[in-house]
Amino acid sequence: MGYVIIKDLGLIDYMECWQLQQKFFDGLIAAKTDATKGEQSWMTENHVVRAAGQEHAGEAQQTLLLCEHPHVYTLGKSGNINNLLIDPAFMECIGAAYYKVDRGGDITYHGPGQLVGYPILDLERLGMGLKDYIHGLEEVIINLLELFEIRAERSEGATGVWLAATGSRPLRKIAAIGVRSSHFVTMHGFSLNVNPKMEYFSYINPCGFTDRGVTSISRELGEIPEMDNIKKTFAEEFGKVFGLTFQP
C-alpha cells in the first residue's frame, strides 16, 4: 500500500494553488528522474529523496490537495473559448477570474461551496494508466455520493460524474474531472459541487455541453452538508479506491 500526504488548503486563490501543485508535481517528477539515473539520494534545503522503491519525503511525496477557490473559470488546453458566455467586463462585475490551463477538458467553474481536489500521484507506483486513474476518480465520487443517498453514474463519452435524467430534469453533472500527466505523474483533478452558487454555471456551457444540466449535493438533498464532512468522506473513499494511506 502506498502513502499520500493530504493537505487541506481551505479557500485559496486559483493561481496560488496552481503554483503550489506545480511545485509538488515537479518535485515528484524530479525524484523519479533521479531514481532512474540510479542516484541513492539527493538533498535540497527542504527535502530528501531516497532511492527508488522507497517512499519519498517532502516535495517528492505523493500529495492530495483539497480546497475551495474564489469564483474562477478555467479553460482546458483543447477547450473552446466560445463556451465562456460572458465578456471580461461582466466577469469583473461578478467577481470572477479566468485562466487558460494545461489540463484536459473544456471550460469549468470553481467557487466557494465546491470541493476541489488536486491529486499529485505517481501512476506507476499505483500500477495504473491515465484512463484507469480517471475511472478511479469517478468511482471515488460515485461512492461518496452513494453514502449521501445520491445515485450517480458515468456518462458514456464524457468524463465526470452525472445524475440520470429524471422527469423534467435532464442528465446533469455534479462533478467535473480534468487532469494532466507527465512521466505518469498527475496534476489538476476534480471539482465536486457541494453547495456552490449555481448561477455562475449559467455563464458558461459547462464542459462544452449545451444540452445537459448541472447540479449539487445541496440541490439534490434539499439541505446543505458540512464541507468538512464531505472532505473527510472523500479522503476515506480515495484511500480505498487507490489503495493509499495518509500521512499527516
Residue 17 sits in a domain of what CATH number?
A: 3.30.930.10
Total number of domains in the chain: 1
pLDDT > 60? residue 53: no
Task: Write the pLDDT tens digit of every residue in 127-182.
Answer: 999 999 999 999 999 999 999 999 999 998 889 999 999 888 889 999 999 999 99
Using CA of residue 72, residue 109, residue 136, residue 183, what is the dihedral sign?
Answer: negative
* Number of residues written out for the chain: 248
Our answer to whether residue 67 is catalytic in this structure is no
Q: How confident is the model at residue 9 (pLDDT cuts 50, 70, 90)?
A: very high
Give the percent of the chain with pLDDT over 70: 87
17, 67, 93, 207: which one is catalytic?
207
Residue 122 confidence (pLDDT) above 50: yes
Kindly report the average pLDDT of the chain as a whole number. 88
Grid cell at residue 234:
472523500
- Considering the entire predicted model, what is its pTM? 0.87
CB contact at 8 A, 109 and 79 = no
Neighbours of 178 (CB within 10 A): 25
CB 150 within 8 A of CB 220: yes
Residue type (1 letter), 164: A
pLDDT, greater one: 18 or 39: 18
**pLDDT for 21-36, tens place per residue?**
999 999 999 988 776 5
Average pLDDT over residues 193-204: 95
Q: What local confidence, expressed as pLDDT, does residue 97 receive?
A: 95
Q: Is the pLDDT confidence value at 14 over 80?
A: yes
Per-residue pLDDT tens digits for 207-238? 667 677 899 999 999 999 999 999 999 999 99
Task: For residues 1-24, give the mean pLDDT.
Answer: 94
Q: In terms of pLDDT, which residue wins out, 55 or 87?
A: 87
Distances 158 to 74, 104, 176, 209, 221 between C-alpha atoms, Å: 18, 12, 10, 10, 24
Instruction: Domain of residue 83: give its range.
Output: 2-247
pLDDT > 90 fraction of the chain, expressed in percent and rounded: 71
Closest residue by Cα to residue 14 from 134, 108, 152: 108
